Amino acid sequence: MLNIKELARYIDHTQLKPVATYEDIEKLCSEAKKYGFYSVCVNSCYVRYAVEKLAGSDVKVAVTVGFPLGAASSEAKSYEAVEAVKAGAKEIDMVINIGFLKSGDYFGVREDIEAVVKAAKQIDAEAKVKAILEMCYLNPGEKVSACELARDAGADFVKTSTGFGPGGAAVEDVELMKKLVGDTMGVKAAGGIKDLKTAMAMIKAGATRIGTSSGVAIITELNHGKNE
């Protein structure tokens, strides 16, 4: 079992609700600093505000791009990524074009991811791009193709879900993703991870990052268990 500090560094502390307010983002950032989470993950309108609230800490700001559908143009996604990185975001969580993938337009999917990777890294070479595959919509062959296309396009992570689709992270999907990308990329499990047992199952399956809005509850559960 990981200790509290180790587990906290897996967590992208997330607030992506459409009704999220400045107060919600301030709370998110305060919690991230208190518990030592790796990052906060916010919608792009709140990047600058989150960066300000996290000044002086080592908590990074991650931002969603093309969220939650992935159906925006590559140009729009790239612009959103550029503006977010300029505002201080260090990680981009972009939704791939799921419709292109299901159409068999693999070139279009790769080109879409590549455009965001190139745009973000032109502003900050250290910026990380996570490709959200939304695995709940994909058949087995599409899952394999999505991972391979994200890898070939230069993404730094593959990510299971937006949390807005009909299904979230599944252990078997994380295992598949890890098998396909190995140690060449990170694997982020997100969507429906609300307790310690689920988080640990994802990590055991190969997740190197956990996206959750329940980070405080997960850490509290681990702390409670250690104190029993």
Ranges of each domain in the chain: 4-227
Residues 173, 48: Cα–Cα separation, whole Å: 33
**Pairwise CA distance, residues 184 & 188, whole Å:** 13
Provide block-wise average pLDDT over 10 residues at a time, the chain (228 residues). 95 98 98 98 98 98 98 98 98 98 98 98 98 98 98 98 97 98 98 98 98 98 78
Q: Tell me how far apart the alpha carbons of residues 14 and 209 are, in angstroms, rounded to a whole number.
A: 12
- Known catalytic residues are 93, 159, 188
Q: Which amino acid is at 204?
A: K
Task: Report pLDDT for 218.
Answer: 98
Is pTM beyond 0.85? Reply is yes
- Looking at residue 216, its pLDDT comes to 98
CATH superfamily of the 4-227 domain: Aldolase class I (3.20.20.70)
Rounded Cα distance between 133 and 147, Å, is 8
**Whether the bond into 18 is cis, omega within 30 of 0:** no
